[in-house]
Amino acid sequence: MSHCPHALEVRGASKSFGGVQAVCNADLIVRDRSIHGLIGPNGAGKTSLFNLITGLIPADAGEFRLGGEAYQPTDLINVTRLGIARTFQNIRLFPQLTVLENVLVGRLCHQSPWHSGLLGALWSGAAYRRAQEMHEQRAESLLQQVGLADQADQCAGTLSYGAQRRLEIARALATEPRLLALDEPAAGMNPVEKSALTQLIRAVATAPQGPSVLIIEHDVGMVMSLCDRITVLHQGAVLAEGTPADIQASGAVREAYLGSTEAPSAGAAR
């Protein structure tokens, strides 16, 4: 048994929008150094739960711990500084900035107000330049990792859909997160891109200082092969949690997905 604290621990998270209970008393534990899947039918509350964890929307209730430390997810920037980085179901890049600049934005959360402003540049020119060089090197190596090194100077908006999703991952990694939360990173990708993405996520999660990964994904085949554990949401509540084999064997999960007793399979959710 490991004594490491969990990467993420959520207890009793709830959120309703008017009459819709989007997240209902949900628990979620992402073990340290693991890849954890979050699945469920459309409208199950997966993105809403991400939004609560990352402080994009305020929770009605819930306790949140990152690496064993309680935190209040009150705003996205703060949560990013604490060590959670995410990507979005609807890609959110700066389309007019270059690919490299988009990754450098992720580095901003590591720059002290001292070094990030004009004042810092004037006050401490050499140290500022050294820091900038270090950030650029890190950004370039992340672009290499996600296979975008050759497009570093292109505008992000000109990239293919799959490449934009990989760029979002590089930008998230640039914040050096403890937890990387990916909302449908494979959406719109073809099978070749999906398999490259699967390898990338594995490489990220197994790197020496790599983050734990929490991934929302509708391609059940991909989730089953990639994840160590899976949580299934249904109508805002946790329906099942376990290993891919546990989830595959769960009758309740089959019901939720298909309204039948067939096992969830690749592509079944969409």
Ligand X SMILES: Nc1ncnc2c1ncn2[C@@H]1O[C@H](COP(=O)(O)OP(=O)(O)OP(=O)(O)O)[C@@H](O)[C@H]1O
| Contact residues: ligand X, CB under 6 A | 17, 20, 22, 40, 42-48, 89
Choose from Mg ion, ligand X, none: what does 173 bind? Cβ within 5-8 Å by kind.
none
Task: Using alpha carbons, list the distances in angstroms from residue 135 to 51, 83, 119, 231.
Answer: 28, 17, 19, 35
Choose from Mg ion, ligand X, none: what does 62 bind? Cβ within 5-8 Å by kind.
none
Cβ proximity of 237 and 43 under 8 Å:
no
- Amino acid letter, residue 176: E
Choose from ligand X, Mg ion, none: what does 114 bind? Cβ within 5-8 Å by kind.
none
In this complex, which beta carbon is closest to Mg ion, that of residue 47 or of residue 231?
47
d(CA 179, CA 205): 10
Q: Which residues fall within 8 angstroms of residue 72, CB to CB, at 6 or more apart?
A: 64
We find the least distance from the C-beta atom of residue 14 to ligand X, in angstroms, to be 12
Q: Considering only CA atoms, which of 152, 149, 107 is closest in space to residue 132?
A: 107
In this chain, which stretch among 83-91, 95-103, 138-146, 241-249 interacts with Mg ion, using CB under 5 A?
Answer: 83-91
Q: Which of residues 85-124 bind Mg ion (CB under 5 A)?
A: 89
Q: DSSP assignment, residue 167?
A: H
Q: What are phi and psi of 36, to 5 degrees?
A: -120, 125
Residue showing the smallest CB distance to Mg ion in the complex: 47
We find the least distance from the C-beta atom of residue 262 to Mg ion, in angstroms, to be 23
We find the least distance from the C-beta atom of residue 206 to ligand X, in angstroms, to be 27
Pairing state of beta strands 179-183 and 8-17?
unpaired
We find the least distance from the C-beta atom of residue 88 to Mg ion, in angstroms, to be 10
d(CA 123, CA 113): 12
Does 47 bind Mg ion (CB under 5 A)? Our answer is yes
Q: Considering only CA atoms, which of 19, 95, 92, 31 is closest in space to residue 56?
A: 92
We find the least distance from the C-beta atom of residue 266 to ligand X, in angstroms, to be 16
Choose from ligand X, Mg ion, none: what does 40 bind? Cβ within 5-8 Å by kind.
ligand X
Choose from ligand X, Mg ion, none: what does 188 bind? Cβ within 5-8 Å by kind.
none
Q: What's the token pair of residue 169? A: 């991952």
We find the least distance from the C-beta atom of residue 160 to ligand X, in angstroms, to be 22
Q: In the complex, which residues of this chain contact Mg ion (CB under 5 A)?
A: 46-47, 89
